[in-house]
Amino acid sequence: MVNLIQLREYMKKQVEADREKKSVQVTGATVEEALNQASIELGLPVRKLEYEVLERGNRGILGFGKKEWILIAYEAVGKEKVPEFSEDVELDLGFGSGIEEQDKDRNGEAFVRLFPEGAYLKVTPPSGSGKPVNERTVIEKLRERGVHDFDNSLVRKVIKQAEGEYIKIGEFIYNPVSDPVMAVDIKDFEMQAYLVVKPPGPGGTDLSRDAIIAFLKSNNVVHGIKEDVVQSLEDHPVYNQPVLVAEGTKPVNGNDAKIIYNFETDRSRVRLKEKDGRVDFKELNLLQNVVEGQVLAKKIPAEEGQDGRTVTGRVLPAKPGRDVEIGVGKNVRLSEDGMTLTATCNGQVMLAAGKVNVEPIYVVQGDVNMKVGNITHLGTVIVKGNVEDGFKVKASGNIEIMGTVGKTELDAEGDIVVHQGITGKSEGKVIAGKSVWAKFIENASVEAGENVVVSDGIINSRVDANKSIICHSQGRRAKIVGGHLRAAEEIIAETFGSTAGAETVLEVGYDPKSKARLAELEQQKAALDKELDEVNLNIQTLAKLKKEKKELPEEKKKYIKELVKRRSEIDSTIEEIVEEMSQIQSYLASLKYKGKISASKRVFPGVKIYIKDANLNVRNEFKAVSFINEGNIVKVTKYEEPAEDYFRRK
């Protein structure tokens, strides 16, 4: 009875025996040739063979010292399947670039050339399915050329090796008088040279490449010699016909200097943007904004050109390119070498009368509408008309609107001035890095980094100011009715609320933006806390399931990994939120704002007043009063006239 150990030993011997049967020692002039031979003997494609080099080959010099490659090739075992490859893919054999793409089918050729030193033979190998040169063909060619004294064994060796090099194989009776005669004809204003060769007579030699070139140069043909044509004439001579052997080089004139502008120079071109797959006709992109230091234009210098040359070597001078200067306008700077133009301020770039200008102020002569489109400008924007509903104006400087503003968006890093007022229709939004100045604000959202100053009134609007909100005029219309207003320092108006008891919320004594951010962070944290509870519950459920069944399905394992990863992400985000909340709370606690709300005429019931942590719901009408926080209680005091500076635009 055969046991397991004996069976294993038997199988091991069988594998070794099979491998020995599937290996072969092969030789070849190249690795590729040897592998092709191994492929034939083993009956396997080359891609399924592995090999070891026993002896490296050498091509030798002029056929001498040549040494063939010796390989042991065998079938590849235990490797991944090698993908099929096409003619475009090379197989890397570890030597050079691997097997090259084979040439088309071509028979080998034999060339007999007679030189003063003797008779020479060159044999080229076949390619593809071409036939090699046979000895009989070579002997016939030698006889035709009158070569009878040659070394037969050497001829056979040259035929076998077929290295494509001329090898001396014998002698002939040389007659210099019968050598071929060459003549050169220079035409086309010395731009072409033609060679005419008369064939050699009995005992005459053949032309060599070096002899042809030497003849051309001795006849003043020194430039543009076609080396490939001359080389071809050595192997395949052409007799009694002109052959173009040299061509002159035409001069190439230099390119003119040119200016590369980094902005659209044709302002009439409208470039529309798509939004949600639809063309937004409000985004006309007529403005091209640049920032200080931005490169606006670069000059590519004129080129000298390349001189030409006739076949006789005469120089044909090229014309240099014409120079051009960059047009320098306002608020730009040209580099010392005159090659680069940069902006010296933020603004709108344009090309006018050949000069590049940067305009820090952009003026719209009429309304902002479909004709003008949305405006984004790195400078100040002045609109002589109105801003129609649905359009946006953004500026890094100030925005000044001579007319009215509707359901629009205004966003400026500086001041925003609206001479005829803001009617937001519950959707309009105005954001200023500094102050907002308007005749009135109605049903709009307004944010200011400093003050909001209104002459007629603020109605049903949400207004935030990092300093003060001022609604004051010489008439009787400076009212704040409805809405929610927040200011860090003070809110001043003639009248708060109305006889109808419209709810009007007024808050002072803290930074409204920071408090809004704190509220936003609190909401985010609450949502993340809820999600974290759900994630932990799911992880506990899966952990319990694993404990019961000892093994989870693959999809459950994958899911628990996702849950653990998400828990880590939530913990990290909550940590960041808590840190930011702590910073904001510390900042708000450090503020020294006292906070004051003042009405020069009346305060109606329905007004809600918040000063820091104290609040007051107004139930009775007050006249000419100021509200302050004293002992964490809202106290009513006598009205104090605000400083006149509040009403001056700085």
The DSSP 8-state label assigned to residue 208 in this structure reads: -
How far apart CA 529 and CA 423 sit, in angstroms, is 41
Q: Beta strand pairing status for 622-629 and 596-603?
A: antiparallel
* Ramachandran quadrant class, 188 (left: phi over 0; alpha: psi -120 to 50; beta: rest): left
For residues 585 and 522, is the Cβ–Cβ distance under 8 A?
no
pLDDT in the model for residue 85: 33
Q: Look at 183 and 281; give whichever has higher pLDDT.
A: 183
Taking residues 384-388, what's their average pLDDT? 94
What single letter denotes the amino acid at residue 466?
Answer: N
Cα dihedral sign for 83, 89, 95, 101? Answer: positive
pLDDT in the model for residue 529: 93
Q: Look at 588 and 220; give whichever has higher pLDDT.
A: 220
200-218 pLDDT tens trace: 988 889 988 999 999 999 9
Q: Look at 283 and 19; give whichever has higher pLDDT.
A: 283
Average pLDDT, the chain: 84
pLDDT in the model for residue 553: 85
Confidence check: pLDDT of 350 > 50 = yes
How far is Cα of residue 475 from the mean position of the Cα atoms in its chain?
A: 61
The answer to which of 67-76, 336-345, 362-371, 629-638 has the lowest mean pLDDT is 67-76
The DSSP 8-state label assigned to residue 425 in this structure reads: E
Provide the percentage of residues in the chain whose pLDDT is more than 70.
86
**Residue 432's pLDDT band (boundaries 50, 70, 90)?**
very high
For residues 379 and 397, is the Cβ–Cβ distance under 8 A?
yes
pLDDT in the model for residue 255: 94
The answer to which of 38-42, 180-184, 572-576, 636-640 has the lowest mean pLDDT is 38-42
**Residue 102's pLDDT band (boundaries 50, 70, 90)?**
very low
Q: Look at 71 and 280; give whichever has higher pLDDT.
A: 71
How far is Cα of residue 262 from the mean position of the Cα atoms in its chain?
A: 17
Taking residues 223-233, what's their average pLDDT? 94
List own/partner pairs for 526-535 with CB under 8 A and 24 or more apart: 528/570, 528/573, 528/574, 528/577, 529/574, 531/570, 532/567, 532/570, 532/571, 532/574, 535/563, 535/566, 535/567, 535/570
For residues 633 and 614, is the Cβ–Cβ distance under 8 A?
yes
Closest CA to 598 of 515, 512, 510, 508: 508
Contacts of 581 (CB under 8 A, 6+ apart): 518, 521, 522, 525
Confidence check: pLDDT of 89 > 60 = no
Confidence check: pLDDT of 334 > 90 = yes
Looking at the DSSP bridge assignments, the partners of residue 90 are none
Q: Look at 475 and 168; give whichever has higher pLDDT.
A: 168
How far apart CA 191 and CA 15 sit, in angstroms, is 73
* Token representation of residue 183: 């003549």
490-530 pLDDT tens trace: 999 999 999 887 899 999 988 777 878 888 999 999 999 99
pLDDT in the model for residue 476: 59
**Residue 622's pLDDT band (boundaries 50, 70, 90)?**
very high
**Residue 56's pLDDT band (boundaries 50, 70, 90)?**
confident
Confidence check: pLDDT of 6 > 70 = no
pLDDT in the model for residue 281: 47
**Residue 601's pLDDT band (boundaries 50, 70, 90)?**
very high
**Strands (E) located in 204-309:** 243-247, 258-261, 273-275, 278-280, 289-290, 295-300, 308-309
- Give the strand order in the sheet containing 109-115: 109-115, 118-124, 167-171, 149-150
Q: How many CB atoms lie within 10 A of CB 529?
A: 11
**Residue 133's pLDDT band (boundaries 50, 70, 90)?**
very high
* Phi and psi at residue 138, to the nearest 5°: -65, -45
pLDDT in the model for residue 344: 94
163-184 pLDDT tens trace: 988 899 999 888 888 999 999 9
263-280 pLDDT tens trace: 888 755 545 455 565 545
Confidence check: pLDDT of 15 > 60 = no
